[in-house]
């Protein structure tokens, strides 16, 4: 009978396989090796998911394993499955934080400590920027305004999410490219919240970014400038500005 691998050993395997996968994805200089590279990435990704599955069976699920699953599913185009797993992780967190029973006086302080520990554990599972970004990057890539705003609000409500300037640039660039910062009736029908649309949406996002004390780098500034140029060219002539 084999021994059960230690959790820290499994974390090491996940780190090594994740690093290997990232390196394979970045090695695209030779177009002739594209097929071989895709096969190598798929093999490493399959092995990584096997380790993640084993970890989650033997130990408690955490933010790292959830993030790996999200990245893999989004990369494979299995968006519906990624959304289901992500939603389920929130349901598990909410049920866990609400399941502690109340006891009289002597146990009250102990329960408060337990609740704080549970909340920290829940935030560790679904509360970091890297956990949200695979889905956010996909929504930004396809220009799905409703999904972008829905996920953005979840991220703003999560105490463990600390935005960086690159992530805000991905968000702002996408909305600019697809013309969502310009008034357009076709776009407006996609949004459930008419107040967070067009210039108002831009103002809201920039104010939130400023409250996070984030400053644009030269690279992110150039990216945003190009995105607004494309959005202006492709969408502003379709709009009627009052």
pLDDT in tens, 46-60: 887 888 888 888 888
Residue 29 has pLDDT above 80, yes or no: no
Closest CA to 168 of 152, 157, 187: 152
Q: What b/e string do you get for 94-105 counting C-beta neighbours within 10 Å, with b at 16 or more?
A: eeeeeeeeeeee
Q: Which range among 18-22, 30-34, 46-50 shows the weakest confidence by mean pLDDT?
A: 30-34
pLDDT band of residue 123 (cuts 50, 70, 90) is very low
pLDDT band of residue 95 (cuts 50, 70, 90) is low
Q: What's the chain's average pLDDT?
A: 77
Residue 142 has pLDDT above 90, yes or no: yes
What is the percentage of the chain residues whose pLDDT exceeds 70? Answer: 68
DSSP assignment of the chain:
-PPPPPHHHHHHHHHHHHHHHHHHHH--S-GGGHHHHHHHHHHHHHHHHHHHHHHHHHS---HHHHHHHHHHHHHTT-HHHHHHHHHHHHHHHHHHHT-PPP--GGGHHHHHHHHHHHHHHHHHHH-SHHHHHHHHHHHHHHT-HHHHHHHHHHHHH-TT----HHHHHHHHHHHHHTTTTS--HHHHTT-S-TTSSTHHHHHHHHHHHHHTT----HHHHHHHHHHHHHHHHHHGGG----
pLDDT at position 132 is: 93
pLDDT at position 96 is: 56
The set of residues, in sequence order, having a beta carbon less than 8 Å from that of 95 and lying 6+ positions away, is: none
Where do the domains of the chain lie?
A: 144-242
> What is the distance, to the nearest Å, from the Cα of residue 135 to the centroid of all Cα atoms in its chain?
5
């Amino acid at each position: 009978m084999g021994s059960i691998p230690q959790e820290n050993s499994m974390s090491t395997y996940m780190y090594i396989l994740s690093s290997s996968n990232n390196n394979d994805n970045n090695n695209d200089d030779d177009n002739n090796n594209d097929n071989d590279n895709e096969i190598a990435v798929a093999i490493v990704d399959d092995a990584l998911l096997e380790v993640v599955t084993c970890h989650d069976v033997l130990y408690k699920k955490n933010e790292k394993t959830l993030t790996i699953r999200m990245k893999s599913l989004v990369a494979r185009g299995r968006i519906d499955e990624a959304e289901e797993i992500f939603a389920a992780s929130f349901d598990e967190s909410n049920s866990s934080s609400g399941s502690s029973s109340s006891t009289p006086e002597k146990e009250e302080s102990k329960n408060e400590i337990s609740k704080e520990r549970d909340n920290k554990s829940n935030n560790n599972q679904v509360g970091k920027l890297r956990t949200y970004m695979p889905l956010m990057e996909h929504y930004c890539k396809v220009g799905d305004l409703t999904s972008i705003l829905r996920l953005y609000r979840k991220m703003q409500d999560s105490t463990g999410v600390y935005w960086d300037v690159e992530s805000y640039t991905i968000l702002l660039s996408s909305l600019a490219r697809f013309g969502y910062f310009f008034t357009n009736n076709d776009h407006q029908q996609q949004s459930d919240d008419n107040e967070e649309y067009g210039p108002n949406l831009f103002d809201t996002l920039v104010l939130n970014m400023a409250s996070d004390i984030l400053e644009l780098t030269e690279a992110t500034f150039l990216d945003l400038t190009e995105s607004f140029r494309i959005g202006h060219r492709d969408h502003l002539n379709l709009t009627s500005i009052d």
